[in-house]
Chains A and B, each alone.
Chain A
Amino acid sequence: MEKKLGVYSIIASLVTSVVIVSFFYLIALQKLGAHPDIYRPVDVYAGMVYVFILAMIVSASIWPGIIEKRLIKN
Chain B
Amino acid sequence: MTEHLDQAPPAAPAERGWALTVSGLLLFGQALLLALALPVLAADRLGTESATPWDPRVGPLILEWHRVPGPAIDLAYGPARVRLGWDALSAALFWPLVPLDILAGSLLLAVRRSAWMVAVFTQAVVLALCLALYVTLEPGYVYLVMLSGVLLVGYLNYEDVRIVFAGEEEEPAVIITGEEPVGR
**A and B: interacting chains:** no
Residues of B within 8 A of A (CB): none
